[in-house]
Homo-oligomer: A and B are copies of this chain.
Amino acid sequence: MRKLINDPDAVVADALRGVEAAHRGMLRVDHLHRLILRADAPRPGKVGLVSGGGSGHEPLHGGYVGAGMLDAACCGEIFTSPTPDQILAATTAVDAGAGVLHIVKNYTGDVLNFEMAAEFAAASGVAVETVLVADDVAVMDSLFTAGRRGVGGTVLVEKIAGAAAEQGRDLAAVAEVARRAASACRSMGLALSSCTVPAVGRPTFDLADGEFELGIGIHGEPGRERRPLVGARDLAHLLLDPILKDLDVTDAPVIALCNGMGGTPLLELYLMWGELSAALAASGVTVARTLVGNYITSLEMAGCSLTLLRADEELLDLYDAPVDTPALRWGCR
């Protein structure tokens, strides 16, 4: 196992010390509950935004904590849901009386644990709304999931909801726009290699050199099929076509995320975006905004995913609003 770690069972705790040391002033870390929190949370009058999930997808979610995005991220063990008490601690920590929105990727464990935490929080007087992200068109009812999996769309939902909360909208309004963004997202991914969970010590699956898996999940769970590797131009269509079959973007601009799974060089991600943007243009789709890079990863997995969000003027404005987090920063502070 080729990893920069101390103890395979202490990876998340050890990494949180690095996050704390790197982002003092912007973030604080609750080591007991394994939370990454906005340094100035709770912000009076602002709806609190909490997300989280298994670790190993960095920068998701901790890299998106900061002004204009999340107030707290709950860090589960690698590829393992955070516990209800973690989520409850985060919810309580960021509530300033305006309530809290949970942004949850659709995996059975995450859904159950966020639900339980929301019930506990409600019982102690904190209003909680939940938005589920289930944007992966690859498969229905996969390993770990009933229904579609939540993947790259989560980044865009967190950005848009974060901007709405920062503007001072109330809980119902932030939840509404977050749900609208989530329902407007579709994603499709592929892998050229597996990743290795440190505590397991061997690759999650085997994939021969010269093969790829289409529709891969972000934990290495099975996709649609394995095929002999083809060129980037053909791969672009294999990602794009199932999305366009599912999401009508003939009459609306899209926000596009060309995402790396963690082990693929940025040079290749830009190359993929060259092919994807050409294919989008040929399909008559207008790309209004683009992100290219590693935004939701699977440890060192090689591969990429495409996410499209069917936008309107309000969603574009919220996407464009200032953000100041470790992994997304733009606009004025």
Contacts and interface: CB of A to CB of B under 8 A. Distances in A.
Most buried by B among A209, A267, A270: A267
A61 to B, nearest CB: 12
A332 B330 CA distance: 8
A172 B58 CA distance: 42
Say how many copies of this protein the assembly contains.
2
A272 B19 CA distance: 10
A29 to B, nearest CB: 10
Interface string A280-304: 0000000100101010010110111
Interface string A125-164: 0000000000000000000000000000000000000000
B209 A1 contact: yes
Task: Summarize A's interface: helix, strand, loop or mixed.
Answer: mixed
A5 interface: yes
Contact of A304 (B4, B15, B232, B235): B4
A238 to B, nearest CB: 12
Size band of the interface chain A makes with B: 35 or more
A113 interface: no
A122 interface: no
A15 B274 contact: yes
A99 interface: no
B266 A17 contact: no
A46 B2 CA distance: 46
Given A2-B193, A2-B212, A262-B265, 7 more contacts: A5-B271, A6-B231, A12-B267, A17-B274, A22-B258, A58-B267, A63-B266
16 contacts: A2-B209, A4-B271, A4-B272, A5-B268, A6-B233, A6-B271, A14-B271, A17-B277, A17-B278, A18-B270, A18-B277, A20-B274, A59-B266, A262-B266, A265-B300, A332-B333
